Amino acid sequence: MDELLFFLKGVALGLAIAAPLGPVGALCISRTLQRGFWAGLAGGLGTALADGAYAALAAAGFAAFAHILDNVSVPLRLVGGAFMLWLGISSFKPRPVVAAASIGAGDLLRTTASTFVLTITNPATVLSFAAIFAGLGLAGADDRLSSATVVAGVFSGSMLWWLILAGSVALLHKRLPAGFSMWVARIAGAIMILFGVLAFGSVIYGWVAG
């Protein structure tokens, strides 16, 4: 019974982390509109894997999790900020809509990998993850089975959200006006550029204040 409760809490955490529309959500919508359902879901898989990785770190022990985050927070913000800036600027370059049938396994794998890097290096994800993890009482998962159950729940909850989001966007795609995907790509790019600038700004502020 405890394992089921931990799993459900993990699902709630995965949904809570994935659902807010940030750079990853905007990117998922843009990719789904431009390249189809499987491209959007592949990006969601990268995010769910990153969320699962953070859940595994947190379940391994909050002291160790906090220590690791403290040591790598600056590199994460720099790498994540640079990656978001690059993706954001790239989103403003005109790209033709690609037929879903022409997207191969290699393209989907690259999409998954790039979204994994974007998520794992996003400082906002790190901070919100730690806060909600503690708030849901998941720090009590102090044995291997419970920890694995939490990680599985987080991955499942995150993946469930991306399945819903990519599926909804794919279903509504044909009802949207022409040029809508281009504007979504630009908005997603603007969001990623904003988050990238904020990431660099937080590092610079830390250096000046320190």
Confidence of residue 155 (pLDDT cuts 50, 70, 90): very high
**How many other CB atoms are there within 10 angstroms of residue 109's CB atom?**
13
Alpha-carbon gap, residue 150 to 116, rounded angstroms: 19
Alpha-carbon gap, residue 163 to 11, rounded angstroms: 14
* 160 has a pLDDT exceeding 90: yes
- The letter for the amino acid at 151 is V
Max mean pLDDT range (9-23, 38-52, 74-88, 95-109): 38-52
The two three-digit tokens of residue 156, written as one number: 């499942």
Confidence of residue 163 (pLDDT cuts 50, 70, 90): very high
Alpha-carbon gap, residue 127 to 16, rounded angstroms: 13
* 144 has a pLDDT exceeding 70: yes
Phi, psi of 158 (to 5 degrees): -65, -45
Residue 91: the pLDDT is 66
Q: Per-residue pLDDT averaged across 56-68, rounded?
A: 66
Residues 171-203 pLDDT 10s: 887 776 666 666 666 776 677 677 778 777 777
Q: Per-residue pLDDT averaged across 145-155, rounded?
A: 85
Q: Select the more confidently predicted residue: 32 or 100.
A: 32
Alpha-carbon gap, residue 209 to 25, rounded angstroms: 32
What lies within 8 Å, CB to CB, of 15 at 6+ separation is 157, 158, 160, 161
* 69 has a pLDDT exceeding 70: no
Compute the mean pLDDT over every residue in the chain, rounded to the nearest whole number: 75
**How many other CB atoms are there within 10 angstroms of residue 33's CB atom?**
23
The two three-digit tokens of residue 83, written as one number: 């990656």
Alpha-carbon gap, residue 146 to 142, rounded angstroms: 7
